[in-house]
C-alpha cells in the first residue's frame, strides 16, 4: 500500500491577524487532499482562532497553547509583525515540535508574518521539504518553495531572502483559490459581457473587520445614486465584533440589504454580484478570477502594494486608506462614475479576469505530491 503524503500547516487566525492566512492554507489543504495527501493544522488558540472551522472542513487541527507575551524574549530586531505570534519564535518552534510528537512530515507549510528563517531552520529536522507563504518580502526564509501570490511581485524580490535552490512562485497566477472559483469563472465572465448595470453590490471587509469599516461602507452608500432596484449583500466572518451594529444598520438602508455570516459559497455570491467593495487582502484574487469589478479598501499597511497594483492594472479602484476622512467622498464618486460610465465597469471586469485563472492551488498541490 502506497504511503500518503503528509503535510502540516502552521498558520494563525485572530482578531488582530484576521482569517486570511488560515483560509488560504485551507484552500491548499483541500487541493492536496484531492490529490491524496493528508493534512493537519497547527494553530495557536488566539481570540478569534479558526480551529473549529478547520475541523469542520474535515482536517485534523492541533492547538498550540497560549503564552504570556510579557515573558517572551525581546522583539527588538524581530519581524515587524512579531507581536502577532503571542510568544517568541523559539517557543513557537518548541510548541510545534511537541505537537508533532516526533513525526517527520513530507511538507511543512508556514504562513505567518511573525516567523522567519530561524523558525524554518529549527523545524527542518521534522520535514523533508518546507513551503513558505508570504506577502511581504521583508525577511529571510529557509525554504524549498516560496509562494507570494501578490500582483506585481517578482521572483527577484526574494533574491537573497531564500536559499539558492528555492523555487519562488510569484504573482496571482499562483493564488490559492478554492476550486469553485475556477469552476464558476467562465459563466461569471460571460454574464458580465452582456450586462454592465450595477444591480447587486457585495461588501466584504475580511473575516474580522476590527475597525468596523463595513459601517462606513454602508453609510457612504446611502449617499450614492445606485438604482432603486439594486440590492446589497454584506458578508461578515464568524468572529466579526460588530455584527449587531451591522445588522441594525442594514435595516435602515435604502436598498434591500442582507447580512450573511460565515459564507460557505463565496464564489457563487461573487459571480452573482456586479460590484464589490472590499478589503485589499487575499479575497482580491477571488474577485479577479470571476471578473468582479471592485472598489478596494486598504485596511492595513501590508495591503497598500496590492491595492496600487490592482489599480494600475485597471482591475479595481483603490480608495483612500481607511479611515481617511476623504474615504466616503471617494467611494461616492467612484460609484457615481461606474453608474454613469458603464463601459468602465466592463473594462475593469476584463482587466480583473486577466490577473488570475484561479488554478494556482491545484497546480501547487500537484507539484507537492508528485
Per residue in 17-41, pLDDT (tens digit) is 988 999 999 999 999 999 999 999 9
Identify the CA nearest to 300 among candidates 361, 209, 223, 229. Answer: 209
Percentage of the chain with pLDDT > 90? 81
Provide the pLDDT for residue 201: 98
My answer on whether omega of the bond before 323 falls inside 30° of 0, hence cis, is: yes
Identify the CA nearest to 24 among candidates 368, 364, 301, 305. Answer: 364
Provide the pLDDT for residue 296: 92
Per residue in 290-343, pLDDT (tens digit) is 999 999 988 878 788 889 999 999 999 998 777 777 888 899 999 999 999 999
* CATH numbers and ranges of domains, the chain: 6-170 (3.40.50.11190), 179-353 (3.40.50.2000)
| Whether the predicted pLDDT of 1 surpasses 60 | no
Provide the pLDDT for residue 73: 52
Per residue in 114-129, pLDDT (tens digit) is 999 999 999 999 999 9
Q: Round to whole Å and give the CA distance between 157 and 160.
A: 9
Judged by DSSP in three states, 316 sits in strand
| Whether the predicted pLDDT of 136 surpasses 90 | yes
For residue 276, the surrounding DSSP H or E stretch is: strand 275-279
pLDDT band at residue 77 under the 50/70/90 scheme: confident
Per residue in 174-205, pLDDT (tens digit) is 999 999 999 999 999 999 988 789 999 999 98
What string of DSSP letters covers 54-112? HHHTT-EEEEEPP--GGGSPP-TTS-TTGGGGSS-HHHHHHHHHHHHTT--EEEEEEE-
∠ CA 157-162-164 to the nearest 5 degrees? 105
| pTM of structure | 0.90
pLDDT band at residue 64 under the 50/70/90 scheme: very high
* Pairing mode of beta strands 200-204, 275-279: parallel
Amino acid at each position: 500500500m502506497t504511503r500518503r503524503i503528509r503535510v502540516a500547516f502552521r498558520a494563525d487566525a485572530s482578531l488582530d491577524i484576521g482569517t486570511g492566512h488560515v483560509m488560504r492554507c485551507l484552500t491548499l489543504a483541500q487541493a492536496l487532499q484531492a490529490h491524496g495527501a493528508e493534512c493537519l493544522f497547527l494553530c495557536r488558540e488566539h481570540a478569534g482562532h479558526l480551529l473549529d472551522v478547520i475541523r469542520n472542513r474535515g482536517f485534523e487541527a492541533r492547538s498550540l497553547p497560549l503564552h504570556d507575551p510579557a515573558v517572551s524574549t525581546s522583539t527588538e530586531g524581530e519581524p515587524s509583525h512579531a507581536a502577532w505570534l503571542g510568544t517568541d519564535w523559539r517557543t513557537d518552534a518548541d510548541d510545534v515540535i511537541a505537537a508533532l510528537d516526533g513525526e517527520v512530515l513530507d511538507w511543512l507549510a508556514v504562513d505567518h508574518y511573525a516567523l522567519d528563517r530561524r523558525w524554518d531552520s529549527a523545524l527542518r529536522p521534522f520535514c523533508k521539504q518546507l513551503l513558505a507563504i508570504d506577502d511581504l518580502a521583508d525577511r529571510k526564509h529557509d525554504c524549498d518553495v516560496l509562494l507570494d501570490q501578490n500582483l506585481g511581485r517578482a521572483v527577484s524580490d526574494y533574491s537573497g531572502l531564500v536559499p539558492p535552490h528555492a523555487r519562488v512562485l510569484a504573482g496571482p497566477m499562483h493564488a490559492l483559490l478554492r476550486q469553485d472559483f475556477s469552476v464558476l469563472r467562465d459563466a461569471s465572465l460571460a454574464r458580465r459581457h452582456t450586462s454592465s448595470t450595477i444591480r447587486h453590490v457585495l461588501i466584504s471587509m475580511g473575516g474580522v473587520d476590527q475597525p468596523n469599516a463595513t459601517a462606513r461602507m454602508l453609510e457612504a452608500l446611502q449617499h450614492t445614486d445606485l438604482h432603486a432596484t439594486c440590492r446589497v449583500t454584506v458578508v461578515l466572518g464568524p468572529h466579526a465584533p460588530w455584527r449587531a451594529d451591522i445588522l441594525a444598520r442594514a435595516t435602515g438602508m435604502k436598498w434591500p440589504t442582507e447580512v450573511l455570516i460565515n459564507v460557505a459559497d463565496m464564489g457563487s455570491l461573487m459571480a452573482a454580484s456586479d460590484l464589490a467593495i472590499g478589503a485589499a487582502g487575499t479575497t482580491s484574487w477571488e474577485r479577479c478570477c470571476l471578473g468582479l469589478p471592485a472598489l478596494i479598501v486598504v485596511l492595513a499597511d501590508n495591503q497598500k502594494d496590492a491595492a496600487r497594483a490592482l489599480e494600475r492594472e485597471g482591475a479595481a479602484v483603490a480608495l483612500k486608506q481607511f479611515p481617511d476622512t476623504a474615504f466616503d467622498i471617494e467611494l461616492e464618486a467612484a460609484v457615481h462614475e461606474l453608474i454613469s460610465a458603464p463601459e468602465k465597469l466592463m473594462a475593469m471586469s476584463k482587466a480583473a479576469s486577466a490577473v488570475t485563472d484561479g488554478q494556482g492551488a491545484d497546480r501547487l498541490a500537484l507539484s507537492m505530491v508528485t
